[in-house]
Structure formats: C-alpha cells, structure tokens
Amino acid sequence: MKILIDGRVLTHSQITGVERYTREVIKALKKVAPKNFQIDTIVPSSDNKYVHHIWEHTVLPLIARNYDILFCPANIAPVWKCPRTKLVVTVHDLSFISFPYSFSRKFQLYYKALIPYELKTADIVITVSNYIKSEIINKFNIPRNKIFAIPLGVNIDFLRIPPTSKKENYLLFLGSLNPRKNIKGVIEAFSRLLNRIPHQLLIVGGRFDIFKNDKKIYKLIKSIPADRIKLKGHLRDKEIIELYRKAGLFIFPSLYEGFGLPPLEAMACGCPVVVSNAASLPEVCGDAAYYVDPYDVDSIAEGIYKVLTDENLRQSLIQRGLERAKLFSWGKTAEQTLEVFEKVLNENCIST
C-alpha cells in the first residue's frame, strides 16, 4: 500500500493544533504501519503561503497519481482528484462557518468554496470528535458511514515527567489568540478576581497585536497591574510542560473547539483544568474538568475561584485528569487512521 501524505503545514513556523496533529500523526503512522505500507510525506519547496495553496491544487495531485491513497491531514485537499488514487482528508472543525468573524474575508471565501466540495469528493473524511462529525453531517448532508471521528493524542513528553505538588501562583491560558478562544472572557474574569486571589495570569501563544487591535481588550489589560498579567508568546514544548506542571490552574473557556488538545496536555502534567461546556470539550475532557459557561464572565470567574480554593476539588481534578490524559495517544490515533486507509482500499465506504 502506497500512501502519500500532504505535509504542506509542516512548513509553518508556528505550531497550532492542525500543525501538531499533522506532525504527530505522520510520526506515529510511520511507527505503527506494517512493512507492506509505504508512507511518503511531501512538502512544497516555496516559502510563500499563497504558492503553497497553488501547489496543493496542481503539483500535489499530479504526484499523488502514483499512490494508492492521498492523505490530506490539514483541512485542505486538491480540487482535482485522480480517479485511481483514493482521497482521505481530515477536517478539524467548521469554525469558518460557526465563527466567521475569527477569520479574514479571503480565508472565509476560500474555505466556504473548498470544504463543501472536498467533503463530497473525498472517499473518506476523518474528523477529530463526534461533535464535529455531527456538524458535518447536519450542515452538508454527508453520509454518516463516510466520516470517521478519530481523537487526537497526547505527546508522551507531556506524560513522562511526574507531576509536582508545588504549584505556583499563576493561572495559565494557552492557545492561538483567535477570538473564538475567548481570551477576552479569560482576561475579564481574571480582572474580577484581582482582589480575591494572589495569582498572575500567564497567556501563552499567538500574536499579541490582537490586543492592540481590539480596543476593549487592550483597555482591559491596561487596567490590570503589570505584575499580574504576563504575555509569553510562543514557547517550546519543554517550556510549556513546565508551565503546565507548576500552574495553579489551566483555564480554557473556548467558545468552539474541534477537539481541544491543551486541556488534555495540562491534565497530563497534573494541572487542574477549567474549561467551557461548549462544542467538543465535554466529549474530550469527560469528568476530569470543571465546566463553566463561556458566555458568562461570572461563571468563568467563579469556576476559577472555586477550583483554586477548594482543595478537595483541586486534588480530585488532578487525579482524574492524569487518568483521562492516559486514554489518548498518538499511537491510537495512527492505528485508527490505518484502519481507515484499509477500509478505503477495500471500498467499504460511500463515495459521492
């Protein structure tokens, strides 16, 4: 079996959820694949992101003609599909529909034109949660047996170092600073707790020009003493693991997630987690997180305060989180992905 993997996003300098999934699933597939599987990864040679998308729809499908399967793990697949090559594409979420204001106009138009088309032309669609699977079925009328929900995994590095009981006085938020991540809700909730808790708020990930462009958020940050809020930017995994291990709490009240990997990573490091009760997060976090209403700042603030001050609750969340994180591995993700490849070659799926 010859499989070609579209590695376009491997050229990206910043690692978000889609890039991490692509990197980890490729690595795991090569570890678990039988000897009769040939797995090749291809990336565009140009550094220009616009050229990357031209490459996606021209060079990639031409090369894929020599393979049994073309696997596109990062939402986008070529508009031209070789008849002899099966197409498997991973669609991580439908945020371009549910939260269009989070993206540029060009991005919205591109995704709104391309995603519905590829959902119908792909032989099999993988997605990362049952929540997104249901969204795809309901919005695009795709046959249920053509879509496979395969959870993401937790990198072993996050599980390898034992958790510490010596927590420091900071709350941690990690994620892209896309509006749907609800960073505004995090900052506003924290501002209401300044006189009730001694903690700092550490914000990791994304570009911080969003704060200057959003006058409300910028004003809110300026109202918080400088020694109580820190913007850390992008960090390496080793640095992130240490922040997870020592954080008093990880806060993630996102409005919409296809999967939501950061809460699981925090759990793996022994950090109690407060997340929103929205989208896929309850499916992913199970009974190992404290849930809040992401649209209610008071709910977010009280969730933070309760977990920080109720020691029994904190310890319970830490223990349940450690066990929950062990259920998710990239090895399992790869094994289930290989099963999908075998299904598509046996034609035990619907293609439209």
94/130 same-domain check = yes
Mean of per-residue pLDDT scores for the chain: 92
The model scores a pTM over 0.85: yes
Cα-based angle 55, 60, 62 (whole degrees, multiple of 5): 120
Are 87 and 121 in contact by the 8 Å Cβ rule? The answer is yes
Domain count, the chain: 2
Q: Could you tell me which of 273, 99, 304, 91 has the C-alpha nearest to residue 192?
A: 304
Q: What DSSP character marks residue 65?
A: T
Per-residue model confidence as pLDDT tens digits over 89-143: 999 999 999 988 888 889 899 999 999 999 999 999 999 999 999 999 999 999 9
In a domain, 61, yes or no: yes
CATH number of the domain residue 251 falls in: 3.40.50.2000
What's the first-to-final CA gap in the chain, in angstroms? 23
138/231 same-domain check = no
State the pLDDT at residue 38.
95
100/212 same-domain check = no
What Rg, from alpha-carbon coordinates, does the chain have? Answer: 21
State the pLDDT at residue 275.
98
In a domain, 300, yes or no: yes
Beta strand extents in the chain (DSSP E only) = 2-6, 38-42, 69-72, 86-90, 124-127, 147-149, 170-174, 200-204, 229-233, 249-252, 273-276, 290-292
Separation CA 283–CA 232 (nearest Å):
29
Per-residue model confidence as pLDDT tens digits over 217-271: 888 888 899 999 998 888 889 999 999 999 999 999 999 999 999 999 999 999 9
206/256 same-domain check = yes
Q: Could you tell me which of 200, 222, 199 has the C-alpha nearest to residue 211?
A: 222
107/254 same-domain check = no
123/37 same-domain check = yes
Cα-based angle 223, 198, 295 (whole degrees, multiple of 5): 60
Separation CA 204–CA 235 (nearest Å):
7
> Does 208 score more than 80 pLDDT?
no
43/132 same-domain check = yes
Are 104 and 262 in contact by the 8 Å Cβ rule? The answer is no
Dihedral, CA atoms, 271, 74, 258, 94, nearest 10 degrees?
150
- Amino acid letter, 203: I
| Exposure class string for 18-51: b at 16+ Cβ within 10 A, else e | bbbbbbbbbebbeeebeeebebebbebeeeeeee
pLDDT band at 313 (very low <50, low <70, confident <90, very high): very high
In a domain, 352, yes or no: no
In a domain, 351, yes or no: no
Are 285 and 260 in contact by the 8 Å Cβ rule? The answer is yes
Mean pLDDT throughout 289-305? 98
218/193 same-domain check = yes
> Does 210 score more than 90 pLDDT?
no
134/20 same-domain check = yes
Which domain, by its residues, includes 276? 156-325
Separation CA 229–CA 197 (nearest Å):
13
93/200 same-domain check = no
184/99 same-domain check = no
208/296 same-domain check = yes
Handedness of CA 329, 71, 95, 351 (dihedral sign): negative
In a domain, 140, yes or no: yes
DSSP letters spanning 87-127: EEEE----HHHHSGGGS-HHHHHHHHHHHHHHHHH-SEEEE
Per-residue model confidence as pLDDT tens digits over 15-67: 778 999 999 999 999 999 999 999 999 999 888 888 999 999 999 999 999 99
* Number of Cβ within a 10 Å radius of residue 110: 15
In a domain, 193, yes or no: yes
In a domain, 350, yes or no: no
In a domain, 51, yes or no: yes
Q: How far is CA 50 from CA 5, 8, 21, 93, in A?
A: 20, 11, 22, 22
